[in-house]
Amino acid sequence: MDVKDIIKEENLVYSKSKVLTDNIMHYCPGCTHGVVHKIIAEVIEEMGIQDKTIAVSPVGCSVLAYNYLDIDWQEAAHGRAPAIATAISRLHPEKYVFTYQGDGDLASIGTAEIMHACNRGENITVIFINNAIYGMTGGQMAPTTLEGMKTATTPYGRRVDLNGYPLKITELIAQLPGTCYVTRQSGHTPAAVRKLKKAITKAFENTGKNKGTSFIEVVSTCNSGWKMPPVKANEWMVENMFPFYPLGDMKDE
């Protein structure tokens, strides 16, 4: 039985974005990736740019993002998405090019690529999922892991004398003159989702206006890596992540 057999067309108040595929997502229940994927799909559909969008997926949990959004994708080597997006954007200046990267991909192995793409002001959008952990490989320390936070490679908690400090890379990115819009958002409440959608829309619009690099960090949860049920993970994020990674716009030019 199809949904149309149950709900009449005129009574339908919400439906899945046509840019989202029917593939069942591999993400864990409660994971932020699904929320962000949905928002990106909605923005692409609402802006009518499905045929003009080329995305670059990272290495990490979202390596398979190309299974879920019905647009052209390139899957990058670990950390190299901004370099790949650079070439796509330069060779296709009329396209909407975005990278989708996690914290290990963007803020550790790919630090050089993201800094230089942003500093050149590549006309791309960067969606940066920061859940302070390596999810795909089984919950190891990320560059953004908070001090004291337990991971598979910091089993007694991150020690700054041993592991260094958590990296606020978005604050660094905001200093670069090539960026036009740098913001930190989340997706854990309906209000946060609405704000995040506005931010992603603005970023894509910036690309359309050839304004340079737009950078959106999404402070996220990793239920399996954090070893918490979804509701607890959201609470933990609000209590621990937000004070260190405060939400809001850092730059909007």
Partner 1 sequence: MAELRLMKGNEAIAEAAIRCGCDGYFGYPITPQSEVLETLMARMPWDETGMVVLQAESELAAINMVYGGAGCGKKVMTSSSSPGISLKQEGITYIAGAELPCLVVNVVRGGPGLGTIQPAQSDYFQAVKGGGHGDYKLIVLAPASVQEMYDFVDLGFELAFKYRNPAMILSDGVIGQMMEKVQLGDYKPRLTNEEIIKRYGSWATTGKTADRKRNIITSLDLDAGSQEKFNIKLQNKYKEIQDKEVRFEKIACDDAEYLLVAYGSSSRVCQKAIDIARGKGIKVGLLRPITLFPYPSKAIQELLPQLKGILSVEMSAGQMVEDVRLAVNGKVNVEHFGRMGGVIPTPNEVVEALEEKFIKA
Phi and psi torsions of 229, nearest 5°: -65, 160
Please report whether residue 90 would count as binding partner 1 according to CB under 8 A. Answer: yes
Smallest distance from the beta carbon of 62 to partner 1, in angstroms? Answer: 12
Give, for 250, the enclosing helix (H) or strand (E): strand 248-252
| Segment contacting partner 1 by CB under 8 A, of 112-120, 135-143, 173-181, 213-221 | 112-120
Please report whether residue 209 would count as binding partner 1 according to CB under 8 A. Answer: no
| Segment contacting partner 1 by CB under 8 A, of 71-79, 138-146, 200-208, 226-234 | 71-79
Please report whether residue 40 would count as binding partner 1 according to CB under 8 A. Answer: no
Smallest distance from the beta carbon of 165 to partner 1, in angstroms? Answer: 24
Q: Which two tokens stand for residue 112?
A: 């050089």
Smallest distance from the beta carbon of 173 to partner 1, in angstroms? Answer: 15
Give, for 182, the enclosing helix (H) or strand (E): strand 179-186
- Figure out which of the listed residues 76, 129, 174, 237 binds partner 1, where binding follows CB under 8 A: 76
Q: How far apart are CA 98 and CA 53, in angstroms?
A: 8
Q: Residue 198 in 3-state DSSP?
A: helix
- Figure out which of the listed residues 20, 31, 88, 237 binds partner 1, where binding follows CB under 8 A: 88
Place of tokens 């799909």: 41
Place of tokens 């299974």: 67
| Segment contacting partner 1 by CB under 8 A, of 73-81, 177-185, 206-214, 225-233 | 73-81
Please answer whether residues 172 and 94 qualify as being in contact, where contact means their C-beta atoms are separated by less than 8 angstroms: no
Smallest distance from the beta carbon of 89 to partner 1, in angstroms? Answer: 9
- Figure out which of the listed residues 20, 31, 41, 54 binds partner 1, where binding follows CB under 8 A: 54
Cβ-based nearer residue to partner 1, 70 or 217? 70
Residues 173-192, interacting with partner 1 (CB under 8 A): none
Please report whether residue 42 would count as binding partner 1 according to CB under 8 A. Answer: no
Please report whether residue 66 would count as binding partner 1 according to CB under 8 A. Answer: yes
Please report whether residue 91 would count as binding partner 1 according to CB under 8 A. Answer: yes
Smallest distance from the beta carbon of 113 to partner 1, in angstroms? Answer: 6
Q: How far apart are CA 135 and CA 103, in angstroms?
A: 10
Interface contacts to partner 1, rule CB under 8 A: 50-54, 56, 63-64, 66, 70-77, 80, 83-88, 90-92, 95, 112-113, 115-116
